[in-house]
Amino acid sequence: MSEQALEGVKVLDLTHHIAGPYCTKLLADFGAQVTKIERPGGDPARRMGPFFHDEVDPEKSLVFAYLNTNKESVTLNLKTEQGIQVLKALVAESDVLVENFSPRVMPSLGLGYQSLKEINPGLVMTSISNFGQTGPYRDYKAADIVEYALGGLLYIFGAYDREPVKHAFNQAQFKAGTDGASATLMAAYHQRLTGQGQQVDISIQEAVATGLRDVVNNYTYTGAVRRRQPNHSGDLQRIRASSDGYVLPNPGLGAGVNWNVLTEFLGLPELDDEKFNTASARLVNAEELGKILDDHFIKQNKYDVFYASHEKRFIFGVVQSPEEVMANAQFAARNYFVDIDHPTLGTLKYPGAPFEMSATPWEAQSPAPTIGQHNQEVLGQRLGYSSEDLAQMRATDII
């Protein structure tokens, strides 16, 4: 077994829901020892669906199972003085602490960065919140779509004649988690060089705004406002229905592909006409062009079109169902999906390494933990609490 890239790095994980747990998952999957601190009832993500076999159970949330692989679970009530003292003992021996409470929570518990660095001057404390640790919005609540809207990204998604739309699921949360992991590693590298810790402040709003890229530059330098894209039927990059699903034609005409080459590939000589051979003409005759393309693609097998198009170096795609994604030859060739055995869920397939490292690889060493699975190991063996101590702590709702 190869040594992993983050082996020996100790991470204290005070996160919940999605953004924070994804940050620490990335660290854990590359070898960091991540100790997840859960409230005695467990991370609220344990009650997020979908659930295995639709059975609502804190050990059967598929969201939680994915986000918490390779972690230890310790239950700890941070609303008690003893719970706070236990946490501080863990802080003293940790390299990194990651939390995603609202900005007022950690200081209100006496666990703000200024307090914790007195215990461990080298501590890297990564704080992920909706709008960051400062600013007029810092205490506002938000959901993923709110972050998209206030981050500016929602404005440019969808058709311009309709309301904006966003990506499915919690992409803003995952982006913030990725940024959190990257920033944590930079701070940890600085810590290794200098012994100096620091607080890393991740704003989910700003994580979304980084996706604006040229939108901001265009507005800043030219005053141009990018709007949502037209949805006319003649758009050459519009998703088209095929006989067995959907295909995304993208001939890449902007890269110098000749219109005649495309019409020959499609086998549509009627497109070799002055009504369609320039971008301006295609826009004027968009409805007619769209009908010709729709009538053509609805008769095609999407994968036949996909493979043939790439032989011609066109940039075509196909819309894949979950079943097709799992069976995709490219994923299979790179062994992307992995089997992980969970004590409650059994063996399920999970998304694998987000990137490949030849010498210090990603590895699924253990499934997501059950609630408080590692109380004895961490609190007993690592911190020295006796079995009687732990029993007393359970009886008084500290763990």
198 and 74 part of one domain:
yes
C-alpha torsion sign, points 102, 106, 107, 112:
negative
Q: What is the CATH number of the domain that holds 286?
A: 3.30.1540.10
In a domain, 187, yes or no: yes
Nearest one of 41, 39, 45, 42 to 20, comparing CA atoms: 45
The pLDDT of residue 217 is: 80
135 and 188 part of one domain:
yes
71 and 189 part of one domain:
yes
Mention every residue, 6+ apart, whose C-beta is less than 8 A from residue 192.
none
CA distance from start to end of the chain? 34
In a domain, 4, yes or no: no
The pLDDT of residue 252 is: 75
In the chain, % helix, strand, coil (3-state, to 5) comes to: 45, 15, 45
279 and 351 part of one domain:
no
CA dist list (Å): 29 to 13, 24, 26, 66, 180: 14, 8, 5, 11, 15
338 and 386 part of one domain:
yes
Give the chain's domain count.
2
C-alpha torsion sign, points 35, 36, 37, 39:
negative
DSSP string over 162-222: S-----SS-HHHHHHHHHHHHHHHHHHHHHHHH---EEEEEEHHHHHHGGGTHHHHHHHHH
SS3 of residue 339 by DSSP? strand
* 105-109-113 Cα angle (round to 5): 75
In a domain, 276, yes or no: yes
Q: Which residue stretches of the chain have pLDDT < 70? A: 1-2, 231, 253-257
Q: What is the CATH number of the domain that holds 115?
A: 3.40.50.10540
Of 318, 347, 377, the one marking the end of a domain is 318
Domain range enclosing 295: 240-318
302 and 359 part of one domain:
no
144 and 246 part of one domain:
no
Beta bridge pairs of residue 198: 124
Burial 39-54 (b: 16+ CB within 10 A, else e): eeebbebbebeebbee
79 and 119 part of one domain:
yes
* 13-19-23 Cα angle (round to 5): 50
| Residue 70 and residue 365 in contact, taking contact as beta carbons nearer than 8 Å | yes
The pLDDT of residue 1 is: 54
SS3 of residue 73 by DSSP? strand
Amino acid, res. 31: G
